[in-house]
Amino acid sequence: MTIFSLFVYIFIGVLVCVAYFHLSNFLLDFFTEKTSKKSINDSSIRVIIFIAPGFIVLLIFILYPVFETVRLSFYDKYGRDFVGISNYIWAIQNPEFKRAILNNLGWLLIVPTLSTFFGLVIANLADKLWWGTIAKSLIFMPMAISFVGAGVIWKFVYDYRGPGDQQIGFLNAIIVFLGYEPQAWLTIPLWNNLFLMAVMIWIQTGLAMVIFSAALRGVPKDMLEAARIDGANELKIFTSIIIPYLQQTILVIWTIITILVLKIFDIILALTNGMWQTDVLANLMYDWMFRGGGDSGRGSVFAIIIMIAVIPIMILNIYRHKEEQKI
Amino acid sequence: MKKSFFSSIVSQIILLIFVIVWIIPTFGLLISSFRDKDLLATSGWWTSLFTTEINEIYRTAGYESQFKENNNYIIKGNIFNTKTGKKIKSFGITSKNINEFLINEEAIFKDGSKIEISETGDYIWKSQIPFENKKGKRVFITASSPPKFTLNNYKEVLLNEGVGQAFINTLAVAIPSTVIPLIICSFFAYALSWMRFFGKDLLLATVIASLVVPLQMSLIPLLSLYNDISNLFNISSKSYPGVWMAHTGFGLASTTFLLRNFIKSLPHEMIEAARVDGANHYDIFKKIILPLSIPAFASVFILQFLWVWNDLLVGLVFLDQVPSEIIITAKLRELLGSRGENWEILTTGAFVSMTVPLLIFFLLQRYFIRGLVAGSVKG
């Protein structure tokens, strides 16, 4: 891919798409004008022109794969022979799967909770200070970075050198400075999960903060004033007015981050690749789908488990979105 | 009054701590990417911000450069060989006592020769008998080193490690993968908002239901579909158009959903008036909907573009991991495996991958946030 072919590729890719809509509509106009019947100008043909690409993509890339994945989960590793529910039984008995489920549960408990909490605290603090906008911007920045990029950033923070050497990882440098032994953070089972979660919290707090920041403007000013006059301190106002008032928003943010966490993959792949007992569902799925030739049956089982976990939260989220639209 | 002043100070301190904790990891990465690779491997990035004291070992020149002056054999030179900006404080000639002498003091070697070193590293080494060491003598120095940064890592990473190529590949993936769904979905969303046809409600429900499908569900079926197509036409199953379509598919439901919410909210009188005037749906779409939807398009565009740019999974599955196709996140992951200890390459590579998102972030933050707040439904 040279820069020249980059432009050619982009040009062709986009052109095909634009040309389709323009030409098809142009042709429709051309032929319907000849028959000179205004009423069929917007015949069902135009509906088809508008809908067809989206519908076909939806069909091929989402609807068909869902049914196909469900089918494959009942077939062997090449997708040829029907094997009943043995892939599911295998998954349930697999110790890796148990590990991944436990880790995912840990992620689910800790990451959404802490991200939401930090986001709320920061949004609340920043809104009152003159340099709050800058602070928010800096805390929000990790949102723009890829999970892999964030993985590199944090792997560098967690870097470990032997006790005699100069530590170049920031965390170990602090630990040594405080007089403790340096640690290879990512290889300590169970604890290492927390260090991986820290990366996700670091990213998602920005999202929570931004949404809270918007929601906080809706908190009635006179209510806060009244509380202050009555002598409530900031902490009291935060816990008894702001948190109850933002209940709905808290739930929204919590669901968004939960869905992201259920599908968390890149951070683990980049930092530990599931070693030292850090495996999660999405990484396990990737392993079984594509490593060593792949096993489409077992891989599909993990994909379905992820989907089953996501569905209730997603439904809650869409329902909430529809409610908002009504208002 | 005093109380609120106190609480404001506490707020400021807490927020400042948050900001510092949040910014330090990225800042460390940025600084490290500009550091010399040898220094990067031996000292923390924070040391590079200040003048630091370093201990180093150098060698004097060998006997070939000696000349005779007033019955003394002399070797002159600079201990660093190049200009470094380091300032020597003390030096030593044995490993047991590396700062035995201050600058401009005379140190005497075992063979009776004497050496004097100045602050800038210039030395004069005198002896009454001719020098015979080929390699010169070891000198231990303690010096203060000013902060020093270089662009060498960027040169290395962009040209020799293939990150520059991966960057271009990623653009070739990301731009069509953003524009194509945007075009398709805007028509789709328009039809779902303002056109009347059989099964419209069912179609809308299907789009919304698709939101819950994680893209992991689609990987294997799509890959085998791509393989079938590639066998049929004898082409590679992993290609740029393939990855564009995959991203279009995975972004379709959320993009359509967001755009429909926006297009539906436009005043319907406007559209009806245009219909009465005899405009067809394509004219309405071009002349009324498009101009009005620019802000919504901007948000959706940024959201989808960043999503594609930062994606790893789709790029791993639907593209070959070869230099002409590998995307930047996949490249970074590959480097994490193969160059795991070469932090100069990792930090620089990571920063290169972050340039585009950060640029968009700082220039278009408003649209990005608007898109994120609205677009929290991507499945």
What structural domains and CATH numbers belong to chain A? 3-72 (no CATH), 89-326 (1.10.3720.10)
Report the range of poorest mean pLDDT among A5-14, B20-29, B346-355.
A5-14
Which pairs with CB-CB distance under 8 Å and at least 24 residues apart come from A170-173?
Answer: A170/B24, A170/B25, A170/B28, A170/B44, A170/B45, A170/B46, A173/B44, A173/B46
For A152, which of B187, B241, B346 is closest by C-beta distance?
B346
Q: Is the pLDDT of residue A253 over 50?
A: yes
Evaluate if residue B192 carries a pLDDT over 80.
yes
| Residues facing B53 on adjacent strands | B144
User: Any CB–CB contact under 8 A between A269 and chain B?
Assistant: yes
In Å, how far is A190's CA from the nearest CA of chain B?
Answer: 22
Contacts A207 to B, Cβ<8 Å = 372
Of B51, B118, B127, B62, which is closest to residue B91 (Cα–Cα)?
B118
- What confidence tier does A118 reach under pLDDT thresholds 50, 70, 90? very high
Measured distance CA(A127)–CA(B40) in Å, rounded: 39
Q: Give residue A326's pLDDT.
A: 59
- pLDDT value of position A241: 84
B263 touches chain A (CB under 8 A): no
Question: ipTM for the complex?
Answer: 0.85
- Region A193-213: mean pLDDT is 90
Q: Give the Cα separation of B270 and A27 in Å (integer).
A: 26
Domains along the sequence of chain B with CATH: 51-145 (no CATH), 154-374 (1.10.3720.10)
- In chain B, which residues have their Cβ closer than 8 Å to the Cβ of A54? 184-185, 187-188, 191, 252, 256
Question: In Å, how far is B82's CA from the nearest CA of chain A?
Answer: 26
Residue of B nearest to A252 (CA): B376
Q: State the pLDDT confidence band at B286, using cuts at 50, 70 and 90.
A: confident
Extract long-range pairs of B116-121: CB within 8 Å, 24+ residues apart.
B117/B79, B117/B88, B117/B91, B117/B141, B118/B88, B119/B87, B119/B88, B120/B78, B120/B87, B120/B88, B121/B78, B121/B79, B121/B80, B121/B84, B121/B86, B121/B88
Residues of chain B found within 8 Å of residue A285, distances taken between Cβ atoms: 216
Which DSSP state fits B104?
Answer: T
CA nearest to B240, candidates B312, B304, B324: B324
Contacts of A154 in chain B (CB under 8 A): 25
B15 lies within 8 A of chain A by CB? yes
DSSP state of A293: G
Q: Is the pLDDT of residue B235 over 60?
A: yes
Q: Which residue has the higher pLDDT, A260 or B83?
A: A260
- Please say whether the beta carbons of A185 and A160 come within 8 A: yes
Identify the residue with better confidence: A34 or A9. A9
**CA separation for the pair B124, B78 (Å, rounded):** 9
Q: Which amino acid is at B188?
A: F
Q: Which of B169, B183, B210 sits opposite A21 (nearest CB)?
A: B183
**pLDDT above 90: residue B8:** no
- Nearest residue to B89 via CA among B66, B121, B125: B121
* Chain B residue closest in CA terms to A70: B217
Residue A233: DSSP 8-state: -
Kindly state the average pLDDT of the residues B191-210. 86
Question: Residues B86, B68: contact at Cβ < 8 Å?
Answer: no
Report the range of poorest mean pLDDT among A3-12, A195-204, B299-308: A3-12
SS3 A60: helix
Q: Quick check: B220 contacting A, CB < 8 Å?
A: yes
Local structure of B127: helix, strand or coil: strand
pLDDT band at B1, cuts 50/70/90? very low
Q: Could you give the CA distance from residue B235 to residue B343 in angstroms, rounded to a whole number? A: 39
Cα–Cα–Cα angle for A285, B307, A319, rounded to 5 degrees: 80
- Rounded distance, CA A76 to CA B113, Å? 81
**Quick one: pLDDT at residue B379?**
40
* Chain B contact present for A152, CB below 8 A: yes
B48, closest residue in chain A (CA to CA) = A168
**A83 to chain B, minimum CA–CA distance in Å?**
18
Cβ–Cβ gap B7/A234 under 8 Å? yes
Is A259's CB within 8 Å of B373's CB?
Answer: no
Compare all CA atoms of chain B with the CA of A173 and give the residue at the minimum distance: B44
Query: Does residue A324 come out as left (phi exceeding 0), alpha (psi in the -120 to 50 range) or beta?
Result: alpha
Distance from CA of B123 to the nearest CA of A (A): 30
- Which tokens go with A326? 């009504």
Work out the average pLDDT over B85-105: 79
What's the angle, vertex CA A71, arms to CA A67 and CA A74, rounded to 5? 155
Between CA A327 and CA B264 the distance in angstroms is: 14
> Quick one: three-class SS letters along A188-201?
CCCHHHHHHHHHHH
Residue-averaged pLDDT of chain B: 83
Contact B221 A303 (CB under 8 A): no
For A276, the token pair is 């030292």
* Over residues A19-35, mean pLDDT: 79
Q: Which of A132, A173, A270 sits opposite B336 (nearest CB)?
A: A270
Burial class (CB in 10 A: 0-12, 13-18, 19+), A306: buried
How much is the pLDDT for B3? 57
**Residue type, position B338, single letter:** S
Q: How far is CA A123 from CA A144, A207, A217, A256, B137, in A?
A: 18, 11, 10, 18, 62
Q: Which of A132, A265, A310 sits opposite B313 (nearest CB)?
A: A265
Are the beta carbons of A281 and A104 closer than 8 angstroms? yes
Give B41's contacts in chain A (Cβ within 8 Å). 168
Inform me whether the pLDDT recorded for A35 exceeds 60. no
CB contact under 8 A, B25 and A154: yes
Interface check B358 vs A, CB under 8 A: yes
Chain B, residues 130-159, CB within 8 A of chain A, namely none
Q: Within a 10 A sphere around the Cβ of A125, how many other Cβ atoms?
A: 23
Q: Is B55 on the interface with A (CB under 8 A)?
A: no
Q: What is the pLDDT of residue A324?
A: 65
Chain segment B10-57, per-residue pLDDT in tens? 888 989 999 999 999 999 888 888 888 777 777 778 877 777 777 778
pLDDT of residue B4: 65
> Are A156 and B358 inside 8 Å of each other by CB?
no
Which residue in B44, B26, B25 sits closest to B35, CA to CA?
A: B44
A21 neighbourhood in chain B, CB within 8 Å: 183, 187
Q: Side-chain half-sphere of B120: how many Cα atoms within 13 Å? A: 7
Task: Determine which of A137-146, A150-159, B151-160 has the lowest per-residue pLDDT on average.
Answer: B151-160
> Is residue A280 less than 8 Å (CB to CB) from chain B?
no
CB of B227 within 8 Å of a chain A CB? The answer is: no
Q: What is the 8-class DSSP label of residue B62?
A: -
Confidence at residue B88, expressed as pLDDT on a 0 to 100 scale? 82
Residue B331 exposure: Cα atoms within 13 Å on the Cβ side: 31
A319 Cβ under 8 Å from any chain B Cβ? no
- Of the candidates A42, A61, A121, the beta carbon closest to that of B218 is on A61
* CA pair distance B222, B229, nearest whole angstrom: 10
Q: Which residue of B has its CA nearest to A56?
A: B249
| Chain A neighbors of B175, CB-CB under 8 A | 10, 13-14
Q: Given a cut of 70, is residue B377 above it in pLDDT?
A: no
Average pLDDT over residues B177-187: 92
Residue A17 Cα, gap to closest chain B Cα (Å): 6
For residue B161, pLDDT beyond 90: no
Quick check: A125 and B350 CB within 8 A? no
Q: Which residue has the higher pLDDT, B4 or A142?
A: A142
Among the partner-chain residues A61, A214, A290, the one whose CB lies closest to the CB of B373 is A214
pLDDT score recorded for residue A198: 92
Closest Cα in chain A, distance from residue B91 (Å): 22
Using DSSP bridges, classify how beta strands B138-145 and B52-59 pair: parallel, antiparallel or unpaired: antiparallel
